[in-house]
Amino acid sequence: MIKPKQLAILLKQAVDESMPNVMVFTSTGSLISYVSYEEPEDALQRLDLVKKIRSTSALAGNIYSLYSGTNPSPLVAESTDDIIAHQRDVLFETIIEFEKGKLLIAAIPTEGHEGLLMSKDPLLLGIVGHEHAKEGMMQLKSERLKEAITNELSTIGKLG
């Protein structure tokens, strides 16, 4: 089983001033691990940060569930793009722009590693960026993190 501390070490690579929070959570919004650029000394500020990150993971999990629940078939698809995306079985990834920042939500490929996870729910990656964060950089960090997490799952699977 992959441990939250192992995930935190991997996630720490992607955190910077423009993308202060990175988290791994399930599609139900259950937070598994997170890393923040700003680590407050004060216990109350740290608690507020954790609440904010948990709320973000819950929101992102709901967004994922809403959009991944749509399963386009040729009979009900709105466009041929929906059908093509479904046929390629593209993993979910989206960037949502808010008034004060951006949120990237991406599904982490876990095929063959389901037994190593704490939950049967899909594993998701969330990257929170400020309004000036570059979307391309967010996507690049997402790809690298998903790759690192998948490699870590493969390594653990071989050891177990």
Q: Output the six-digit token pair for 153.
A: 């799952």
Residue 73 is predicted with a pLDDT of: 42
Phi and psi torsions of 120, nearest 5°? -85, -10
Residue 81 is predicted with a pLDDT of: 55
Superfamily of domain covering 4-159: Dynein light chain 2a, cytoplasmic (3.30.450.30)
Residue 125 is predicted with a pLDDT of: 95
In the chain, domain spans: 4-159
What is the rounded distance in angstroms from the CA atom of residue 143 to the CA atom of residue 110? Answer: 14
Residue 141 is predicted with a pLDDT of: 95
Global pTM? 0.81
Phi and psi torsions of 26, nearest 5°? -95, 170
Residue 93 is predicted with a pLDDT of: 85
HEC string of the chain equals: CCCHHHHHHHHHHHCCCCCCEEEEEECCCCEEEEEECCCCCCHHHHHHHHHHHHHHHHHHHHHHHHHHCCCCCCCCCCCHHHHHHHHHCCCCEEEEEECCEEEEEEECCCCCCHHHCCCCCCEEEEEEECCCCCHHHHHHHHHHHHHHHHHHHHHHHHHC
What is the rounded distance in angstroms from the CA atom of residue 88 to the CA atom of residue 105? Answer: 19
Residue owning tokens 């441990």: 3
Residue 2 is predicted with a pLDDT of: 72
Residue 110 is predicted with a pLDDT of: 80
Question: Residues of the chain whose pLDDT is less than 50?
Answer: 70-77, 83-89
